[in-house]
Amino acid sequence: MMPKRDLLRYWPRQEDVVACVKTDAEASSEAVALAVHQPMRFNRRLIGGDASSLVPCDEHELLRVFIQKNLPDGRVIVPIVGSSGIGKSHVVRWLDTQLRHMEGRDLRVVIRIPKGTSLKGVLGILLKDLQGPQYDQYRQELLRAQAELDVKESAGLLCEMLAQTIEGFGEEAKEKLIENPSDRDADERIAFCRTDMLPTLLRNQVFREQHFVRNLDGSDGVITRLVEQLTEGRVAGLEDDRQHQFRPEDLVFSDRIDRDGLSRAEIRVLSQFDREDRRVIATRILNSALDEAKQRLLRLDPTVSDLFNAVREQLLREQKELVLLIEDFAVLSGIQKQLLQVVIKEAFRDGRQVLCTMRTALAYTTGYMDTATVLTRANVEYRIPDEPGSEEEILARIERLVGAYLNAARFGQSALEKVWDSADRPENWVPRFEASVEHEARATLDEFHSSVDNYDFFPFDVQAIRELSREGCIQHGRLVYNPRFVIQNVINKVLVQRDLFERDQFPPAGFGAQGRPLPARVVEEVKRRVPIGELDRYLGFLAYWCGFPSALSEIGPIGSRVFQAFGLDKDRLSRGVQFLPPVTPPTRSATGTPTSQQENERPRSNQDPIEAKWENLLNAWRGGHDLPQVEANQLRKWVADSLKLFVDWDWDLYRPLKDVKGTDIDSWREHIHVPKAAGHSGRAADDPLTMVAICEDSALLDTTASASIQSALMAVIRFHAVHNGSWDYAGAEADMPRYSAFIEGIAGRARTFVRSRYFKSDWDPIPALVQGLLTGARALGVEQATKDKNHASLIQALFETIPSSTPPAVQVQGTNADTTGWSEFTDALKRCRRVGTKELRDQPSWQGHLLDLVGARQGQADTVHAINVLRLKPAIDQTISSWEFNASLPTQPGVVSYSAFRAVYQEIKRLSTAVPKAQQGLRDWHEEIKAWIGNDFEKDSLYRELKETIEGARDSGIAVGLDSKGLLQLLDDFRNAKVMPAYQDAAKLDSAAPRGLVITILGRDHQSAVRICQQLHTRLDAFLGAIEGELANEALMYGEDPIKEAVNSLTAEAKALDQMLERVGAL
């Protein structure tokens, strides 16, 4: 048995993992970054050339280009582009290190702007090295800009600056369109940059307060988030979560925004952004304006460009070069335009050098930079590809990177920094970690293998690295080489669990992703061989360290010491198994689902094609992928066939099933619920309209439970599809009990379902639908539903979608709980209506049902062109005559959606008893207010009197310990609340009030006024009671006439003194 302490020396300590394994290059120390540095691959693209003509190169070629001499323009621009996390910042840091150790370093002034820096921080970097009076003017301007940067104030100002910039775009576009009438970009800008379009939205105070600067929920609006970049940086190592650009979803405006204060023109502008394509165009224009708008906000134009010109002139005099290294161009938003002007400015004028040579490397994320700005001057672009080579090449690069990080973390940051500080050159300085361990431990490490750099892989092996990479290094469905993905989803996924390894609990149960479970036959076989408490650990180990085997016969190449290192026993799995020779596994798609050319598993050579196909489909299904509808329907048919064979339906139904029209089991196939599959009309496993469920949806999340389900389904498939209803095949003795147990488990529910379905009654559903929809519209505050004599308005109310703001429950006096049931009643009414503009096909709303009955469509199209008013009018008249739920519904089942409709109608009918309760609650509140402040109160006068009372008590010191501030705030809320409309409406709710009027009043949003009044009444009574008590205490202490009592007391004391003096004189 190997000593665990020896292996622990090769598993980096947690503090060293934290210090050395960071997701962002700028977060690591220079020594660590260089120790894990891997050869980089770039595609060198000629700007303006063929986009498909890419020349591969490495970082050394990039460095040679960057430091080339004899520059005719006195400048070098190296754009570095790639996706997030691909290593752009690392390249910039690597360049910085090389430049500081190369010949001529004393003749270079290097300015590096780290990723995550705020614009305020960028200005600080520029200020740091500006020494001397020649820079005083620029220093003062930068200091001013730094001091004036404030997020709260800047957000509103940026709205205005954006509006001004966009209006300028519009004017420029008009001139461009005159020159070129076919200029589509100019045409778009004219449409969106008009004063009454985007500028109007940006300047409107409602939109600023409820969308751009702040959201309705109090969170930061999009403009505030964009302004954060000016003042807020991000600590190295943390994800830069700041927003640097507009996104189309930023122009989706909440329905809750107060539109009462908007003009018709503003509402019309708002409606323009309901379409996604228009939001995309507007977003592009806003992003084009963002840098210039921030520049106007900062008022630094032309300070930055003039500053760099002055610096370059000075450096020319000192015969030095200026090097600008930008790790993320997005952080410079606000001075980007000026900085680009600096970068592209030539050093020569009229054949004479007037500025020092400038070398710039700027990194940016794919799609961020407009290539027309600077790239044309750079001539080339260095793109870091996401897929540098074949899958095998990508995996090899990932393995090498993992090995480098393991080696660095074993040393730790401090040890590496000491070695780096003493190194003569920035190449070939990284030592290889070696510890003195026992022979058995060394043999174990060897079985885990090592990287091409001879760095030990433990606690990984090659298979574990590759399987984790196939799950975590995926972009757009393909394997990519992305260092951030490797660190987050491969290295840290294992290294952070060192403590579990120490306790013999690694890999833990549930290790890895649930989206790619082992094949069911492997899970079932392992379950037979290992203790149940260790099953999940074995399954996790097999999935990763054994390379996701399709059978136990494939684990032969994995050494027994690899098992033993994690406290597992290979013999348990290998007993009686004939190992196959190592086979290169077929290429899997990124997510583990089968591809058209290659399957997720290696099929056995003698396996039937149908069986192989279904094993792969069900494996992917267990891993979280939807089962295609065609295959799901086929599976339902096989299950239905099994039920027909298993149940004696003639006996069960007391009559032959075939004699009852429409009650053949095959006609109910779609009522068989298959999780994560279409074809069952959206019904859940426990839906009353579901005949049987293959399993609960949650069962698919359990590796062992889903494996048992797959084994049972494969038994069904082999019996019906592969062997044509025969049990005469190899393995049938194992399939038969699985088959029988599965079908018997679902047969009881199938019997109940079929027995209850014989007849369909003829009835008119329109009255019941109209009652629910029209009463719901009135109760939910739809104005059209209150116009009893206007049938056009009432019909419109029937089809209104759920309002964005519906009245809450009318609460009983003295409590915050809805004891009337009004809230539950209105919630039930909401469920009858559409939420959006489109109808769900599988679960139509009551409005959808009603349109199916009275709407006129063209063919089978969805659009309703007309409504049969004659069929609606009687039902509407019946509803408004009583506003009761009194429709008669058949008790026998009918069409698929009927049972759900009937259940909802009965629920609404039961909950409608909330109407008189809520009526009484509002009426009681009216009486409370009347008794409290009278019937003809004047709210403003009452407000002033109460305020003077509260403030007087507070100022006199008798309100100590009482919440005067909170009471005054509540009083302000009372002043602003719509108390009088609520009070006047409540006065109408006597016992004789018509039910329609009652529902109309309850449907208005009076609850906030009711709640504020009740709270004010309660708290004010408590406050005044406390004040009266305090005054009473003072009266007891000082008496009714404290001055008179003081005089009497002094008189008595004087008499006593006089008597005492007389006695003294008598002596």
How many CB atoms sit inside 10 A of residue 962's CB? 18
Gap between the Cα atoms of 590 and 6, Å rounded: 36
**Position 28 in a domain:** no
CB distance 740 to 716 below 8 Å: no
Same domain, 651 and 698: yes
CB distance 624 to 515 below 8 Å: yes
Same domain, 898 and 929: no
CB distance 381 to 97 below 8 Å: no
Q: What is the pLDDT of residue 566?
A: 95
Q: What is the pLDDT of residue 534?
A: 93
Same domain, 293 and 318: no
**Position 1047 in a domain:** no
Q: What is the pLDDT of residue 997?
A: 92
**End-to-end alpha-carbon separation of the chain, Å?**
113
Question: Quick one: pLDDT band at residue 498, thresholds 50, 70, 90?
Answer: very high
Asked if residue 507 has a cis previous peptide bond (ω within 30° of 0), the answer is: yes
Gap between the Cα atoms of 591 and 848, Å rounded: 38
Given a cut of 70, whether residue 587 has pLDDT beyond it is no
Q: Which of 724, 755, 786 is the last residue of a domain?
A: 755
Classify 352 as helix, strand or coil: strand
Classify 499 as helix, strand or coil: helix
Question: Quick one: pLDDT band at residue 1029, thresholds 50, 70, 90?
Answer: confident
Q: What is the pLDDT of residue 88?
A: 87
Mean pLDDT across 387-410: 92
Given a cut of 50, whether residue 160 has pLDDT beyond it is yes
Gap between the Cα atoms of 988 and 7, Å rounded: 83
Worst-scoring range by mean pLDDT, 437-451, 894-908, 911-925?
894-908
Q: What is the pLDDT of residue 721?
A: 93
Between 652 and 1001, where is the model more confident?
Answer: 1001
Question: Quick one: pLDDT band at residue 146, thresholds 50, 70, 90?
Answer: low
Task: Write out the residue range of the structural domain in which residue 871 sits.
Answer: 766-912
Given a cut of 60, whether residue 68 has pLDDT beyond it is yes
Same domain, 347 and 489: no
Per-residue pLDDT tens digits for 292-310: 888 888 777 777 888 888 8
**Position 1045 in a domain:** no
Beta strand 42-46 with 380-383: parallel, antiparallel or unpaired? antiparallel
Q: What is the pLDDT of residue 1032?
A: 74
**Position 599 in a domain:** no
Gap between the Cα atoms of 213 and 236, Å rounded: 28
For 337, 746, 1019, the CA distances from 1067, given in Å and listed in that order, are: 109, 120, 68
Q: What is the pLDDT of residue 162?
A: 93
Worst-scoring range by mean pLDDT, 64-78, 318-332, 610-624, 826-840?
826-840
Per-residue pLDDT tens digits for 91-104: 999 999 899 888 88
Residue 581 has φ and ψ, to the nearest 5°, of: -65, 150
**Position 1046 in a domain:** no
Same domain, 777 and 902: yes
Q: Which of 297, 321, 340 is the last residue of a domain?
A: 297
Q: What is the pLDDT of residue 803?
A: 55
Q: What is the pLDDT of residue 565?
A: 95
Given a cut of 80, whether residue 341 has pLDDT beyond it is yes
Q: What is the pLDDT of residue 129?
A: 65
Given a cut of 90, whether residue 338 has pLDDT beyond it is no
**Position 1061 in a domain:** no
Same domain, 120 and 163: no
Given a cut of 80, whether residue 1055 has pLDDT beyond it is no
Query: Whose structure tokens read 């007037």?
Result: 354
Q: Which of 850, 878, 912 is the last residue of a domain?
A: 912
Per-residue pLDDT tens digits for 624-663: 889 999 999 999 999 988 888 876 554 444 334 454 445 5
Question: Quick one: pLDDT band at residue 858, thresholds 50, 70, 90?
Answer: very low
**Position 36 in a domain:** no
Question: Quick one: pLDDT band at residue 277, thresholds 50, 70, 90?
Answer: very high
Given a cut of 80, whether residue 81 has pLDDT beyond it is yes
**Position 853 in a domain:** yes
Q: What is the pLDDT of residue 809?
A: 45
Same domain, 826 and 896: yes
Given a cut of 50, whether residue 526 has pLDDT beyond it is yes
Same domain, 157 and 138: no
Summary mean pLDDT of the chain: 83
Worst-scoring range by mean pLDDT, 161-165, 870-874, 1029-1033?
1029-1033
Same domain, 702 and 642: yes
Per-residue pLDDT tens digits for 801-814: 875 554 454 444 44
Question: Quick one: pLDDT band at residue 134, thresholds 50, 70, 90?
Answer: confident
3-state secondary structure 39-54: CCCEEEEECCCCCCCE
Same domain, 953 and 1000: yes
* CATH assignment of the domain containing 109: 3.40.50
Per-residue pLDDT tens digits for 973-997: 888 888 888 888 888 888 889 999 9
Same domain, 630 and 678: yes
Mean pLDDT across 746-759: 72
Same domain, 783 and 812: yes
Q: What is the pLDDT of residue 1042?
A: 60
| The total number of structural domains that make up the chain | 6
Given a cut of 80, whether residue 754 has pLDDT beyond it is no
Given a cut of 70, whether residue 207 has pLDDT beyond it is yes
